[in-house]
Amino acid sequence: MSDRETDGDAVAGAGAVREEDSFDASAVAMWLRENAIDASGLDSVPQVRQFGGGASNLTYLLRWPTRDLILRRPPSGTKAKGAHDMAREYRIQDALAPVYPLVPRMVGHCGDESVIGSEFYVMERVDGLILRRDFPEGVGLDDPASRDRLCATFVDALVALHAADLEASGLRELDRGPGYVARQVGGWVERYRRARTEDVGDFAEVIAWLQDNQPADQPHTMIHNDFRFDNLVLAVDDLSRVAGVLDWELSTVGDPLMDVGSALAYWLQADDPEPMQAIRLQPTNAPGMWTREQVWAAYAERRGLTIGAQDRRFYELFGTFRLAVIAQQIYYRAFHRQTTNPKAAGMGMFVRILDARCAELLG
C-alpha cells in the first residue's frame, strides 16, 4: 500500500486486480517512460488497482508517489466486432479535448500487444466525485436546490458536447452522412442477434417497432453514446460543475437525440417499477432529482428544439434496447465461461428487466 493510501488518499472504486485481468506493471512503466507525452514522475513501477464499476473495457489506476494515471484495455475472450477499439477511443479524446475541455488529457496509446497482451491507452486521472447508485453522505447534495443544479449540470455538459466544433477538432470525418438512425437500429439489432443466448428473450416486438417508427435524423453532432452520472467526474471544489467526462468507447458523430435517449435509459425515477429500481446505477430516483420529462424539456430549451412525444418515445425505447444489447454482449462472455467477473454473470437478469421496460415503453 502506498503512503498516499495509508494517508487516506485511496481512490474510490479502485480495488485489487482480478487475476484474469492482471498484467505486467513494470512493462507498462517501461513503455510509458519511452513513449508517454509526459513521462515525469514515472521512474518506478506503479501500484496497480482495478476499477470494478464497469463490465466492458477494463480500467485501472496506475499510482506513483507523485502522480496517478488511468489505463484502459479490452477484456479477454471473444469480443463483438468493432468493439473495444482502444486506438479509436484514444484518438477521439485527443482530438476532442481542444474543443470540449471535459475530456481527460491523453498520455499515450500502445498498439503493441506484446507489452501486456493487448493494446491499451493511458490518460491522466481526473480528480473528483463520481456518483454511483446512491448519493454518498456528507457531500452536500442532500437538498432540493443542489440536486436541481446537479441535474442542470448534467444537461449542460451534454448540450456543450453537442455544440463542440467538429471542423476544428477534425472529427467531422466520423460522420457517415444521412441515415444514422437507420444504421444504428440495424446495427444494434444485428449485435443482439449475434450475442443472444438461449435464456433471454428475442425483443421481436421492440425491434419491429424501432424499424417501423424511425424519425428523420437531427443535424449531426459529436455524441458520447454512454452519457450518465457514473461517467462524469464532479469537481471537488464545486459539485455543481463537471470536471471530466469518461468512457468514450461508443462515441461518434450522429443524431444527438440518440445521446439523450441512451442517457435516459439509465435515468431511473422514483415511480419506476421495482425491478427497474433493482438495476439502478445512479441516484436519479432521489427526492429533488429531475424526471425524464424534465430532462427532455431542459435539453430541448437549451438547444432551441421542439421534440414531440412520439420522437421522445422512439429515442428512449432505442436507448433502452441498446442498453440491453450492451448488457447481453457482456453476459455472452459469462454464459460461455470467458470471464469470471461477477458483474458479467449478473447481466442476464439486467437484460430481462430491460426487456420488460421496453414492453412498458411500447405500451
Superfamily (CATH H level) for 3-124: Phosphorylase Kinase; domain 1 (3.30.200.20)
For every residue of the chain, which 3-state class applies, written as one string? Answer: CCHHHHCCCCCCCEECCCHHHCCCHHHHHHHHHHHCCCCCCCCCCCEEEEECCCCCCEEEEEEECCEEEEEEECCCCCCCCCCCCHHHHHHHHHHHCCCCCCCCCEEEEECCCCCCCCCEEEEECCCCECCCCCCCCCCCCCCHHHHHHHHHHHHHHHHHHHCCCHHHHCHHHHCCCCCHHHHHHHHHHHHHHHHCCCCCCCCHHHHHHHHHCCCCCCCCEEECCCCCHHHEEEECCEEEEEEEECCCCCCEEECHHHHHHHHHHCCCCCCCCHHHHHCCCCCCCCCCCCCHHHHHHHHHHHHCCCCCHHHHHHHHHHHHHHHHHHHHHHHHHHHCCCCCCHHHHCHHHHHHHHHHHHHHHHC
Question: Where in the chain is CATH 3.90.1200.10?
Answer: 144-362
In the CATH scheme, what is the code of domain 144-362? 3.90.1200.10
> Could you tell me where in the chain the CATH 3.30.200.20 domains are found?
3-124
Tens digit of each residue's pLDDT (9 = 90 or more) over 5-52 = 444 467 888 999 999 899 999 999 999 999 999 999 999 999 999 998
Look at residue 254 in the predicted model and tell me its pLDDT: 98
What number is the average pLDDT over the span 275-299? 97
pTM confidence score = 0.91
Interval 59-69: pLDDT, tens = 999 999 999 99
